[in-house]
Structure 1
Amino acid sequence: MTDSTFAHAWNDWHAERERYYGDPLGWVSLIGLYWLTDEFDTIADLPGRWRADGDAVYVEGIDGTDRLEPVEGAPGLLVEDGDRRIEVIRRTGSVALRVYDPKSPHLQSYRGIPSYPPNESWVVSGRFSPYDQPRAVTTGAVVEGLKHHHRAIGVVDFELAGVALQLLAFSGRDGGLHILFTDSTSGVTTYPACRSLAITEPAADGVVTLDFNRASNLPCAFTDYATCPVAPAANRLTVAVEAGEKNPR
């Protein structure tokens, strides 16, 4: 790949990332996260009255909506509120409402995603070694008290600047791998909780390519109203990965 082709591909990826987070009803438009109890109550300036238990969410005063069943850890169920959207989520057994508002002051001040300049030296080869059986890995979250349960399927071994490193890998899309990691830039120039790296499906011999230029922020880097995981202990690198997205705050 030529330098210009590499840079062009990265610029396209980066532009799509900025568009995604700048969506009028996307992550940056969030204005609140409200946890429900088992007693009916009004929530901020939202319509209706809400309560939740271990089975469902119950709503009074919103036509066409009286019971919702959000799935643990999955994207939430959406309820329209004029131009806004209310997302009903279940996390670690509790239920919360997230509110997306296209008039959010956070969205008005959004200026894109700061990033390190793309550099091919941060594209490295590694080798994926699958586990005989997937392993359950539990991590904390950016919201105190919440937990995330992951399915680890193996490890990726690679080198950066002559240092042998290893990362725990989860199942990704289309047969690929998904990695959550921190490094010595975390909390300095990059978001402290973790960044994400997608890796395409390993070759037959386990060879993979890690492009740290595409180390990505999770939604929690942009908003206090996300419930993202933190990196597993095994994926806290001691080297500085000066590539990919920086802390947008």
Structure 2
Amino acid sequence: MTVQTTTTTGTADAFAEEWRAWHAAQEARLADPHGFLAITGLHFLDGEPRRLPDAPGGWTTGPAGVTVVLGDGEELTVDGETVRGEHRFGVLPERGGVTAIWGDVAIEVAKRGGNDIVRPRHPDHPLRTAFRGTPAFPPDPRWSVTGRYVPFDEPRPTTVGAAVEGLQHVYDAPGRIEFELDGRSLALTAFNGKEPGELLVLFTDATSGITTYAANRALFVAPPAADGTVALDFNRAHNLPCAYTEFATCPLPPAENRLPVAVEAGEKIPYERAAGQGEES
């Protein structure tokens, strides 16, 4: 398991171009009219009806799940159908959710950390309209390393904290990734990614809180090869939504994923957070 190197200018140029395309796609998703930068509030529901400042209706939750009661002249579109009066979203699965449309606003109704939440997403939210991109380290092939995936005998339920105080997430960790960086043997506990076989690692390192976001960064890893080999490209270490907005419930890395080295690759502290945490560059 060694640090990969690039031997030709052409290969280096291609590596950098692929990274720029990846980073542009990351930023496009973040700046989507209904992306995380458009969220105007994080509302935790309970049994008491609540009128929200950024969404219509009175909202509650209970054993039967989330319910909204819309007032006169109020309506939402859910799954393509216009709803008025009382609408029941039902019991939502953990990390699942439903989107209700209100004009140009997308209202996320979801469950996070066992709590039912509502997060309206307004395209004209200043955080989104003023977004100027995310600073990042220049892409460098030395941060693209080969590792080995070691599956656990059984997936390990792993409880981690969240960006929101008092909230916890539980993920099944299928294994860990072992690798070397600058001659040091390291390992990261891996969670399941978005695609079949894909892995996700959450980590901090010696740059966290200095040049990179303090709480976490994330890295998706393509499915392991038949011999367990995986590619870890830390140039694609990216910020989670909590790096930009206080209305995200992002998970924190497990304790063992605090790397004792400075990973000077990937995305840095967002401009929106830089003044209060560290460098802007």
- TM-score calculated relative to the size of structure 2: 0.85
**Is residue 109 of structure 1 aligned with residue 163 of structure 2?**
no
Correspondent of 2:98 among 77, 80, 96? 77
For residue 51 of structure 1, what is the aligned residue in structure 2? Answer: 60
Cα displacement (A) at 1:160:
1.0
**Aligned partner of 2:214 among 188, 192, 197:** 192
The answer for the alignment partner of 1:35 in structure 2 is 44
Question: How far, CA to CA, are the matches of 1:6 and 1:193 in structure 2?
Answer: 28
Give the structure 1 partner of residue 269 of structure 2. 247
**Alignment deviations for residues 99-149 of structure 1 (CA, whole Å, 9 cap, x no partner):** 101110101210011110000000111111111111110101011111111
- Residue in 1 aligned with 2:181? 160
The two structures, once aligned, show a CA RMSD in angstroms of 1.4
8 Å contact from structure 2 (residues 54, 120) kept in 1 = no
Deviation at 1:75, TM superposition (A): 3.8
| CA–CA separation in structure 2 for the residues paired with 1:92 and 1:72 | 10
Q: How many residues align?
A: 249
1:94 to 99, 105, 115: 115
Q: Does 1:60 align with 2:82?
A: no
Pairs within 5 Å for 1:116-135:
116-135=137-156
**Structure 1 stretches of 5 or more lacking a match?**
none
**Percent identity at matched positions?**
47
Q: Is the CA contact (8 Å cut-off) linking 2:151 and 2:176 kept in structure 1?
A: yes
- C-alpha displacement at 1:71, in angstroms? 2.4
2:223 counterpart letter in structure 1: E
Question: 2:278 aligns to what?
Answer: none
Paired letter, 2:213: Y
Q: What is aligned with 1:24? A: 33
Letter in 2 for 1:93: G
Q: Which runs of 5+ in 2 are unaligned?
A: 1-5, 76-82, 274-281
Counterpart in the other structure of 1:7:
16
Counterpart of 1:213, as a letter, is N
Of residues 193-202 and 167-176 in structure 1, the stretch that sits farther from structure 2 once superposed is: 167-176
* Bigger mean CA deviation after superposition, 236-245 or 46-55: 46-55
Corresponding residue for residue 200 of structure 2: 178
- Per the TM alignment, residue 92 of structure 1 is displaced from its structure 2 partner at its CA by 2.6
Assess if the C-alpha contact under 8 Å between 2:63 and 2:91 holds in 1: no
